[in-house]
């Protein structure tokens, strides 16, 4: 069982200490042991309003963009979409890309309804709304759980009341933002000091300075053991894969969900047929290369690996150094094997789906 360290408090707890009512509507997939009654004090903003308290609320929109459509409607014509070149341009993937657009639109509609409810309840002029997502689309296989832009470059929109002294409306900010910044910025909106160990930045602080880089990571996801790190700077992306003995398309949770399995199987069949294009080989190939380096300005889909291009040698090495320094400074836990006790718990949960060699070593002991 995973428990938070004693010095770590959740955002709802910090807001409660400041006199706020707190609530959550929807998913609670927190991956640590918690009591809902200790995190949340009301069921929604109406109850907080009746108590005369300000509120901190989390609303997870229906499912999310890798789940069901609003009212089951399909609006995007698959024949009109553009399929990224790292996927096969066929009927299946056209439908998957179209489905993603449909799901995004359905969430826009749902969020619009939430905003109208705020207006109806007389709270629109007193409420700051922060909208973000956790990752890219799961049905587009290269996105969720991987460090490409399709997985980690997620939307962040903030709306505040007209009389709230932040900055002028309509601002579009291209700075690099880490999702860690959302928590610290949210606390700052309420005048609450962040805890000393928090690494995020207040995006609207007078002392705010843009990040020079953002680190992204993948380790074990469910029962699939991996280790990937990425460095994102304003123009470039460096991806380092440490477990090159297994392909990107190793055994994973999608294989066991019918709504994802077809798309995953199609990529494996493409690999086995030997008909992959150069743009598809990096992600769909049988072997995984250790280093990837992309110019995001000229190659936003990350398909032209520049590792061996002498023109980019200096930038490639700079990004390698950033990652090496970050690993040392943070004592990146991904560099250490997961404990046998932890792996046994994973095996207890997932059974024969645990096929990575790390599990075999635990069984043999």
**Per residue in 291-336, pLDDT tens?**
999 999 999 999 999 999 999 999 999 999 999 999 999 999 999 9
- Confidence class of residue 103 from pLDDT cuts 50, 70 and 90? confident
Task: Check pLDDT > 80 for residue 345.
Answer: yes
- Confidence class of residue 66 from pLDDT cuts 50, 70 and 90? very low
Note whether 267 and 141 are within 8 A (CB): yes
Higher pLDDT, 102 or 293: 293
Q: How far apart are CA 89 and CA 237, in angstroms?
A: 25
Question: Across residues 197-219, what is the average pLDDT?
Answer: 95
Q: Which CATH architecture has domain 213-246+288-365?
A: 2-Layer Sandwich (3.30)
The angle at the Cα of 99, spanning 273 to 241, to the nearest 5 degrees, equals: 50
Per-residue pLDDT tens digits for 137-193:
888 999 999 999 999 999 999 998 877 777 777 888 899 999 999 999 999 999 999
Q: Which residues pair with 214 in a beta bridge?
A: 232
Give pLDDT, residue 171. 83
Give pLDDT, residue 340. 93
Per-residue pLDDT tens digits for 312-321:
999 999 999 9
Task: Check pLDDT > 80 for residue 70.
Answer: no
Q: How far apart are CA 16 and CA 12, in angstroms?
A: 6
Give pLDDT, residue 65. 45
- Confidence class of residue 67 from pLDDT cuts 50, 70 and 90? very low
- Confidence class of residue 365 from pLDDT cuts 50, 70 and 90? low
> Taking all residues of the chain, what is their mean pLDDT, rounded to a whole number?
92
Q: What is the pTM of this model?
A: 0.92
């Amino acid at each position: 069982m995973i428990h938070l360290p004693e010095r770590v408090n959740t955002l709802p707890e910090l807001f409660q200490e400041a006199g706020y009512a707190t609530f959550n509507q929807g998913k609670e997939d927190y991956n640590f042991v918690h009591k809902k009654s200790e995190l949340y004090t009301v069921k929604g903003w109406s109850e907080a309003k009746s108590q005369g308290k300000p509120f901190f609320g989390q609303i997870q929109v229906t499912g999310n963009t890798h789940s069901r459509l609003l009212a089951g409607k399909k609006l995007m014509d698959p024949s009109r979409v553009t399929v990224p070149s790292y996927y096969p341009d066929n009927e299946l993937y056209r439908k998957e890309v179209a489905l993603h657009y449909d799901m995004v639109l359905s969430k826009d509609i749902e969020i619009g309804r939430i905003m109208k409810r705020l207006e109806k309840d007389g709270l629109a002029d007193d409420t700051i709304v922060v909208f973000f997502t956790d990752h890219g689309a799961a049905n587009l296989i290269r996105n969720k759980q991987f460090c490409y832009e399709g997985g980690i470059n997620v939307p962040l929109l903030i709306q505040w009341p007209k009389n709230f002294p932040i900055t002028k409306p309509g601002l579009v900010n291209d700075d690099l933002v880490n999702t860690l910044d959302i928590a610290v910025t949210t606390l700052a909106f309420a005048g609450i000091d962040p805890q000393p160990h928090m690494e995020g930045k207040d995006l609207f602080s007078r002392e705010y300075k843009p990040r020079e880089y953002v680190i992204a990571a993948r380790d074990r996801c469910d029962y699939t053991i991996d280790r990937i790190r990425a460095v994102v700077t304003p123009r470039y992306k460096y991806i380092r894969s440490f477990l090159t003995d297994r392909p990107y398309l190793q055994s994973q949770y999608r294989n066991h969900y019918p709504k994802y399995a077809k798309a995953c199987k199609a990529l494996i069949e493409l690999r086995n047929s030997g008909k992959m294009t150069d743009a598809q080989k990096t992600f769909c190939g049988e072997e995984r290369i250790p280093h990837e380096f992309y110019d995001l300005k000229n190659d936003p889909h990350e398909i032209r690996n520049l590792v061996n291009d002498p023109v980019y040698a200096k930038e490639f090495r700079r990004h390698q150094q950033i990652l090496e320094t970050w690993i040392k400074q943070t004592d990146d836990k991904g560099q250490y094997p997961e404990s046998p006790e932890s792996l046994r718990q994973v095996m207890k949960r997932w059974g024969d789906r645990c096929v990575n060699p790390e599990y075999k070593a635990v069984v043999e002991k």
